[in-house]
């Protein structure tokens, strides 16, 4: 049996079928064999023979048998869930999906801000009752947004916020690097940024620094009319602190594409707030996600072949 060049694991990415990802890769790599695993047994067999494996997670127990494996292409931007050290020790390079989320997640954030400010939920409730009555709304023009995290998502978001006339404050680990925002601050200045912002948008990775970043003190620093949007990871926000802040009307509301815990239990108090919008980790769910992901992997496979080794790959983690 021919050893496959690329194996797509059975794991769905943002609810999208792995077969769709495989089709995108075949379009870009017609000269290679791209195989999508359909059963656990087939997945294990294919991994043992593949040069490149792509998916969300990789069980390091597979490493001993994966004699041909040179690259694991993670389909998520974050790789904190992977044992990258074990993969590196086995001589397997790891890449991530950094950059593919910029357009889709930044559009989600813009939609969330507009929906809150234009009070579309109230409009829908009025429509359900055939009720015609004007109500006050807000606008983005002239407002201030604190964007925590200036990676691909943060940069794409700032570009779109600028078009709406929004002043932006960027918060990042290395403020000396600058960024596209009107001001760039370090995490040691985050409370000042929160106090100035109409919108606090979390687009940072989950690290020791950012875990629980938005806690009681951070929420107390936010303005009473401030809106929190989390498209980062659920544990960046202290959920209990957020529930308390919402109950006490310390902030205007929140849009959460990620939660802690996740999935959010059906009896969790966050579901009950009228000023909270919750989506099931769905901000990155778009058919073009697989297009951008396939572009990265196709480029890296060609580089792998040209160099004869995993060097200088796009989005290489190890």
Find the mean pLDDT for residues 104-131.
97
CA angle 102-108-109, nearest 5°? Answer: 90
Q: Are residues 274 and 131 in the same domain?
A: yes
Kindly tell me the burial class for residue 128, based on how many C-beta atoms sit within 10 Å of its own C-beta (0-12, 13-18, 19 or more).
exposed
Please determine, for residue 3, whether its predicted confidence score (pLDDT) is greater than 90: no
Residue 179 placed within a domain: yes
Q: Are residues 147 and 92 in the same domain?
A: no
| Both structure tokens of 44 | 């294990």
Catalytic annotation present for 159: no
Alpha-carbon distance 285 to 175, whole Å?
30
pTM of the shown model: 0.88
Q: Are residues 87 and 125 in the same domain?
A: no
DSSP string, 59-75: -GGGGGG-TT--EEEES
Q: Are residues 37 and 127 in the same domain?
A: no
Q: Report the pLDDT value the prediction gives residue 174, as an integer from 0 to 100.
A: 95
Find the mean pLDDT for residues 104-132.
97
Residue 23 placed within a domain: yes
Token match 């997640």: residue? 105
Whichever domain contains 197, its CATH number is 3.40.50.720
3-state secondary structure of 7: strand
Q: Are residues 56 and 121 in the same domain?
A: no
Q: Report the pLDDT value the prediction gives residue 308, as an integer from 0 to 100.
A: 82
- Active-site pick, 101, 172, 277, 281: 281
Domain count within the chain:
2
pLDDT digits (tens, 9 = 90+) for 254-271: 999 999 999 999 999 999
Largest CA distance in the chain: 69
Q: Are residues 132 and 207 in the same domain?
A: yes
Q: Is the dihedral of CA 146, 152, 153, 158 positive or negative?
A: positive
**Higher-scoring residue by pLDDT: 309, 164:** 164
CA angle 219-173-245, nearest 5°? Answer: 5
Q: Report the pLDDT value the prediction gives residue 80, as an integer from 0 to 100.
A: 84
Q: Are residues 273 and 294 in the same domain?
A: no
Q: Report the pLDDT value the prediction gives residue 8, as an integer from 0 to 100.
A: 97
Please determine, for residue 1, whether its predicted confidence score (pLDDT) is greater than 60: no
Catalytic annotation present for 233: yes
Structure letter (DSSP) for residue 93 = E
Q: Give the H/E segment covering residue 22.
A: helix 18-28
Alpha-carbon distance 241 to 91, whole Å?
43
Q: How confident is the model at residue 121 (pLDDT cuts 50, 70, 90)?
A: very high
Q: Give the H/E segment covering residue 253.
A: strand 253-256
Q: 63: domain range? A: 6-100+286-307
Q: How confident is the model at residue 310 (pLDDT cuts 50, 70, 90)?
A: confident
- Active-site pick, 70, 250, 262, 314: 262
Q: Report the pLDDT value the prediction gives residue 48, as an integer from 0 to 100.
A: 94
Token match 């000396």: residue? 176
Q: Report the pLDDT value the prediction gives residue 51, as an integer from 0 to 100.
A: 94
DSSP string, 136-167: ----STT-EEEEE--SHHHHHHHHHHHHTT-E
Alpha-carbon distance 57 to 61, whole Å?
12
Alpha-carbon distance 35 to 246, whole Å?
48
**pLDDT more than 70, % of the chain:** 99
- Active-site pick, 172, 233, 252, 277: 233
pLDDT digits (tens, 9 = 90+) for 75-92: 988 898 999 999 999 999
Q: Are residues 79 and 118 in the same domain?
A: no
pLDDT digits (tens, 9 = 90+) for 202-257: 999 999 999 999 999 999 999 999 999 999 999 999 999 999 999 999 999 999 99
Mean predicted lDDT score pLDDT of the chain: 95
pLDDT digits (tens, 9 = 90+) for 31-62: 999 999 999 999 999 999 999 999 999 999 99
């Amino acid at each position: 049996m021919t050893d496959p060049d690329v194996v797509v694991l059975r794991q769905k990415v943002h609810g999208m079928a792995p077969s769709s990802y495989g089709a995108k890769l075949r379009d870009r790599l017609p000269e290679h064999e791209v195989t999508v695993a359909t059963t656990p047994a087939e997945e294990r067999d294919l991994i043992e023979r593949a040069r490149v494996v792509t998916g969300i997670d990789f069980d390091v127990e597979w490493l001993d048998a994966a004699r041909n494996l040179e690259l694991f292409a993670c389909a998520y931007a974050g790789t904190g869930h992977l044992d990258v050290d074990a993969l590196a020790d086995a001589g397997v390079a790891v890449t991530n999906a950094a950059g593919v989320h910029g357009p889709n997640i930044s559009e989600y954030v813009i939609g969330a801000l507009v929906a809150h400010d234009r009070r579309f939920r109230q409009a829908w409730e009025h429509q359900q009752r055939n009720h015609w009555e004007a109500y006050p709304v807000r606008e983005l023009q002239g407002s201030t947004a604190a964007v925590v995290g200036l990676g691909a998502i943060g940069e794409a978001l700032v570009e779109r916020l600028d078009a709406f006339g929004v002043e932006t404050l960027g918060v990042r680990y290395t403020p000396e690097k600058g960024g596209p925002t009107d001001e760039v601050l370090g995490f040691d200045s985050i409370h000042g940024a929160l106090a100035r912002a109409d919108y606090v948008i979390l687009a940072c990775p989950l690290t020791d620094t950012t875990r629980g970043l938005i806690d009681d003190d951070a929420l107390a620093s936010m303005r009473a009319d401030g809106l929190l949007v989390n498209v980062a990871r659920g544990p960046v926000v202290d959920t209990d602190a957020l529930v308390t802040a919402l109950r006490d009307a310390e902030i205007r509301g929140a849009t959460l594409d990620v939660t802690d815990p996740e999935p959010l239990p059906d009896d969790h108090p966050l579901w009950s707030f009228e000023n909270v919008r919750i989506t099931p980790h769905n901000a990155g769910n778009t058919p073009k996600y697989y297009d951008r992901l396939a572009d990265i992997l196709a480029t890296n496979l060609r580089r792998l072949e040209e160099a004869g080794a995993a060097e200088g790959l796009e989005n290489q983690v190890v």
